[in-house]
Amino acid sequence: MTEFFKNLKDVFKALTKFQFMRFCVTGSLGVITDAVIYHVFLWLLHVNAGKDRTTTDTILLFILPVFGYLAAVIQNYLVNHFWTFGKETENHRVSFHLFFKFFAVSLFSLIPRYAFYTFLLIFNNITPDLANLGGIAAGMFTNFFGSKFVVFRFKEDKAVQKVQQ
C-alpha cells in the first residue's frame, strides 16, 4: 500500500514538472501524423469515400488507418523516449523491447478510450465528436500512466534512489 502512495506522489511530481503536458503535446503530434498519413494514402490511392465507393475502396478505408496509427505510435515512442521521459531514459537506448511495451500500452489504452466513447455516445446522448474527445482523454490518461510506470520505468532507478538516500 505504501508503494501505491509513493507512485501517487511520483505522479503528482510528474504533473507539476510538466511531464504530463509534454505527453499531451506528443500525443497531439501523433494525432496530426496519423491524420496526415491517412489522408495522403487516400489521395495517393484515389480512394473514393463517398456512397458510390467500390468494394476495394471500402477495404482500403478499413486498412489505411492502420498505417497512420502505426506511424503515430512509432513517432510518439521516439518523442516520449527522448523528450517526455528523457530524464528516465538518459541511460537507455531506443529499443524494440521498449517500443513493443509502448505499443502494448497504446493498444491497451484503446479499451478505456472505446468504453468511455461508447458510454458517452449511447448513455449520455452526446454528439459523436464530443464522445470521441472524451474517449481520447480516457485513453490518454491510461496511456500516460502505462508509459510512466510500465514502459519508461527502470529497475536500476530504484537501486540508484536507495543509494542516493
List the one residue out of 5, 1, 7 whose CA is nearest residue 153: 7
pLDDT given at position 15: 60
Mean pLDDT of all residues in 25-35:
92
pLDDT band at 131 (very low <50, low <70, confident <90, very high): confident
Stretch 88-112: mean pLDDT: 95
Residue 28 has a CB neighbour count (10 Å cut-off) of 12
> What's the pTM?
0.76
Q: Which domain, by its residues, includes 46? A: 2-164
Are 132 and 110 within 8 A, CB to CB? no
Task: Grade residue 95 by pLDDT with cuts at 50, 70 and 90.
Answer: very high
Least confident of 64-73, 87-96, 149-158: 149-158
Residues 140 and 122 sit within 8 Å (Cβ to Cβ): no
Residue predicted with more confidence, 6 or 76: 76
Number of domains present in the structure of the chain: 1
| Average confidence (pLDDT) over 46-72 | 90
Q: Determine the average pLDDT of the residues in 65-83.
A: 94
